[in-house]
Amino acid sequence: MEQGDGLQFLKDLARGRLSRRELLARAGALGVGATALSGVVRLPGAVLAQDGGQAVGEVTWALESAVPNVIPFGAIALAQWWGKEFMYDSLMEFDQDMNIQPALAESFETPDELTYIFHLRQGVKFHDGTEMTAKDVKYSLDNAISPPEPGAPVPYFGNIASVDIVDDYTVKITMKTVDPTLPGVFAWAGYSPIVPEGIYDRINVLSEGIGTGPFRLVEYVQDDRIVYEAFPDYWKPGVPCIQKLTLKALTDEQARVAALRAGEIDGGTFSADVIRTLERDEEIEIQRGLTSAPRVIHFNTVNDVPWRDVRVRQAINLVVNRQEIIDKVYGGEAVMTGPIPPGYGDWFIPEEELASTFYAQDVERAKQLMAEAGYADGFSVTLQAIAAPRDHTQIAEIVQQAVKQLNIEVTVEPLEIGTFAKNIGEGAFEWAATARGMRGDPSGYVVDFRSGTALHQVWFGDGWKNDELDALYDEALATLDVARRHELYRRIQEIVLTEVANLYTVQPYKFQAARKRVTGWFVWYAGTNTSLREACVAAE
C-alpha cells in the first residue's frame, strides 16, 4: 500500500504504458498533474506544419514586464521564465493538461526508491549543431543543483545526492531520500534546462543561450524584445510551426490593447476588465484560464503584534469577503483559493467548501473574538502590497475597509517590486499582500508553514508554529503513497486555514488575447506562454 501507487505510476509513465485517459485520471498523483479548469476555450487543434515542412510566419507576443535576463540556472522571476522558455527543453515536460510527458528523456525507470535512471532521446541537436548526450545532461543538472553566479540556488534539487553518466544516452540520479517530486520539477522546466556542456565558458548566459528548444535565440535587446527563430532540427516533428517569434515588453496595458488592435502585436495578457473592450473585435480571440497565482496576505508574527493571538487572525478572516474581492477587483473572474490553488490537480480544497466553511463571514463573532483577545478597540497596522500589477493593492484596499469593522486601522503601502521583494525576503513587513507562483509539487505551496525553514523563521518566528503540521509535512515528503499524500496535504491546508496562518484570498483567471491568425495557443497553467512553442500562424 505505502509507496506503491506513486512508484508504479512513475514506472508506468516511464515505460509509456499509460493511456491518455489513465494519465488524466491519475493526473496529480505526484502533485504535478494539474488539470486546467473548464472555461479554457480550446481550439480544434493547431494547424501543424506538414511533416518536414517549413515553419512559417512571424508572431510578436507582448510581455507585461521586461525580461531581466535569460539565465539558465538558479532562482528566476516569472519574467525571466517568459524570456527563456522557448529555447530550452528539460528531461520531462508538461502537456496542456499539466501531465508529465517525456521530453529529452524518452523514458525513465526507478529500480529502487532512491534511484532514477533517465534514458535520453537520441539524435537531439543543440542549436549549435552538436548532439545532446549524457555529459550535457550531467553538466546541466549539476549546474541546476548549484547554480554558477549570478544564479541563486533553489530548494527543488536538495535531495539529489549525485548525477552520474551511465553511457552516452543514460543518466543515473541518486537521491538522498525518497523524493516523489523530481519528475514534476523537471517537467516544470524552468529550473532544469538542458544546455551543452561548458556553456558558461562559451557565451554570456544572461543574454544568450544555446538549448535544444524549438526556437533559437537570435536577438536580445535589453528591456525591449527577444527575437527567436525556428530551429529546423528540433526533435519533435512538425514543431515549431512559427518561423519567427518576437517577445516584446509592453508594460502599459493600454499600449498593449492599442498595439493588439492595430496588429502591431499578435497577442498578450490583459486584465479582466480590459478584455471586455477586446470582445467586440472580430480579429481577436480571447481565452481564459487558471494559472497558479493564488493571492495571499502574509501575517508577520515575528514581533510582538496583536495577531500572534490566533483569535485576531480568525477575526480578520471572518470579516474579509472573498466574493467581494472576486467581484470588485476581478470583475467576477476569479475563484477562492486556499494554500494550494484551484486547478492544481485535485490537491486543492474546492471553492464551495472554502466559501461555506473556511471563509464564511460573521462580523459579530469576529468582534467577539477581538474582544476576547483584548483588542476590542483595534490597533493600527501597515499593509504592504505589490504596486504593479494593481490588483494586489486593490485587494489590500478591500481588506483595509473590511477590518475597519474591527477597529483595525490599516495603512496600505504599495511598493514597487524590488523593495517589496526585499521586505518579503527579510520579513520586513507587518502585513503583506502578494501572490504565490507555480510549484512543481504541492509541498511547495505549504513549505513556509513548516517550522525551521528559512522563511518560517523570518515570517512567523516563534509567533506561530504548529507541531501537527510539521509532522504531517515531513510525512508527506517521505511517502510515495498517493492517497496518503492527499490526506496529508488536505489536513495541512485545513490547519493553515483554521489557524489563519496566512490570509488566502482568491485565484484570478488569466486572460490572454491574440489575433486570430495565431492558432493553437492557450492559457498555460504555470503562467508562462508555453503553448506558443507549438502554436501556428497563418502566413501573411
Partner 1 sequence: MSQVTEAMTLGRVGRQVRPWWALPKRWRNPIGIVGAIIVLLTVVTAVFAPVIAPYDPDAQDHDRLLPPSWSNLMGTDELGRDTFSRIVFGARVSLQVGVIAVVIALVVGAALGVAAGFFGGRLDAWLMRVVDILFAFPGLVLAIVIAGLLGASRTNAMIAIGVVYAPAFARVVRGSVLSVMSEPYVEAGRVVGASNARLIAQHVLPNIVAPLIVMTTVYLSSAILAEAGLSFLGLGTQPPEPSWGGMLNLARTYMEISPWMAIFPGLAIMIVVLGFNFLGDGLRDVLDPRLKMN
Partner 2 sequence: MGLFILRRLLMLIPTLLGMSVLIFLMLRLLPGDIVDIIVGADPQADSAARQRLREAMGLDDPIPVQYVRWLGDLLRGDPGVSLRSGKPVGQILWQSLPITVELAVLAVLMATVVAIPLGVISAVKRDTGMDFGARVAGLIGLSLPNFWIATLLLLFTSTQFGWVPKTRYISLFDDPLGNLKQMWLPAAAIAVQLMAIEMRMTRTTMLEVLNQDYIRTARAKGLRDQVVVYRHALRNALIPVITVIGFQLGALMGSSAIIEVIFGLNGVGYTLLQAIFNRDYPLVQAAVLYLAIVFVLINLVVDVLYAVLDPRIKQA
- Interface positions with partner 1 (CB under 8 A): 253-254, 271, 273-274, 276-277, 324, 327-329, 331, 387-388, 390, 393-394, 397-398, 400-401, 412-416, 419
Spatial contact of 285 and 524, defined as CB atoms under 8 Å apart: no
**Residue 433 CB, nearest distance to partner 2 (Å)?**
12
3-state secondary structure 4-35: HHHHHHHHHHHCCCCCHHHHHHCCCCCCCCCC
Residue 444: exposure state from Cβ atoms within 10 A (0-12, 13-18, ≥19): buried
Q: Which is nearer to partner 2, 222 or 357 (CB)?
A: 222
Q: What is the dihedral of CA 309, 335, 100, 217, to 10 degrees?
A: -100
Q: Which helix (H) or strand (E) holds 381?
A: strand 380-386
Residue of 114, 255, 274, 355 that binds partner 2 (CB under 8 A): 255
Answer yes or no whether residue 282 interacts with partner 2 by CB under 8 A. no
Q: Which is nearer to partner 1, 326 or 488 (CB)?
A: 326
Could you tell me which residues come within 8 angstroms of residue 221 by beta carbon, excluding any fewer than 6 positions away?
A: none
Q: Which is nearer to partner 1, 92 or 320 (CB)?
A: 320
The site partner of 223 among partner 2, partner 1, none (C-beta below 5 to 8 Å per kind) is partner 2
Answer yes or no whether residue 225 interacts with partner 2 by CB under 8 A. yes
- Match 518561423 to its residue by C-alpha cell: 243
CA within 13 Å, CB half, 112: 5
**Residue 425 CB, nearest distance to partner 1 (Å)?**
18
- Of residues 405-424, those binding partner 2 (CB under 8 A): 416-422, 424
Q: Measure Cα distances from 105 to 121, 137, 162, 538 in Å.
A: 5, 10, 18, 32
Q: What is the dihedral of CA 532, 261, 517, 539, to 10 degrees?
A: -100
Q: Which is nearer to partner 1, 407 or 419 (CB)?
A: 419
Could you tell me which residues come within 8 angstroms of residue 259 by beta carbon, excluding any fewer than 6 positions away?
A: 62, 250, 265
- Match 463571514 to its residue by C-alpha cell: 361
Q: Which is nearer to partner 2, 40 or 514 (CB)?
A: 514
Answer yes or no whether residue 202 interacts with partner 2 by CB under 8 A. no
Q: Which helix (H) or strand (E) holds 327?
A: helix 322-330
Helix (H, G, I), strand (E, B) or coil at 205: coil
Q: Which is nearer to partner 2, 268 or 342 (CB)?
A: 268
Shortest CA distance to 323 belongs to which of 288, 290, 360? 360
The site partner of 16 among partner 2, partner 1, none (C-beta below 5 to 8 Å per kind) is none
Answer yes or no whether residue 153 interacts with partner 2 by CB under 8 A. yes
The site partner of 432 among partner 2, partner 1, none (C-beta below 5 to 8 Å per kind) is none
Answer yes or no whether residue 206 interacts with partner 2 by CB under 8 A. yes
Answer yes or no whether residue 259 interacts with partner 2 by CB under 8 A. yes
- Grid coordinates of 330: 476581478
Helix 391-403 to helix 322-330 angle (10° resolution) is 140
Answer yes or no whether residue 513 interacts with partner 2 by CB under 8 A. no
Phi first, then psi, for residue 196 (nearest 5°) are -65, 145
**Residue 508 CB, nearest distance to partner 1 (Å)?**
14
The site partner of 398 among partner 1, partner 2, none (C-beta below 5 to 8 Å per kind) is partner 1
Answer yes or no whether residue 265 interacts with partner 2 by CB under 8 A. yes
Binding mask 422-461 toward partner 2 (x if CB under 8 A, else -) reads x-xxx-------xxxx----------------xx------
- Rounded Cα distance between 371 and 529, Å, is 49
Q: Which is nearer to partner 1, 95 or 327 (CB)?
A: 327
Spatial contact of 285 and 465, defined as CB atoms under 8 Å apart: no
Residue of 55, 105, 257, 325 that binds partner 2 (CB under 8 A): 257
- Grid coordinates of 301: 508574527
**Residue 404 CB, nearest distance to partner 1 (Å)?**
9
Residue of 155, 158, 350, 374 that binds partner 2 (CB under 8 A): 155
**Residue 164 CB, nearest distance to partner 1 (Å)?**
49
Which residue spans within 387-517 are E strands per DSSP?
409-415, 431-435, 502-504, 506-515
The site partner of 426 among partner 1, partner 2, none (C-beta below 5 to 8 Å per kind) is partner 2
- Of residues 23-82, those binding partner 2 (CB under 8 A): 66, 68-69, 71, 74-78
Answer yes or no whether residue 254 interacts with partner 2 by CB under 8 A. yes
Which residues are near partner 2 by CB under 8 A? Answer: 66, 68-69, 71, 74-78, 149-155, 204-207, 220-225, 248-252, 254-255, 257-259, 261-265, 386, 416-422, 424-426, 434-437, 454-455
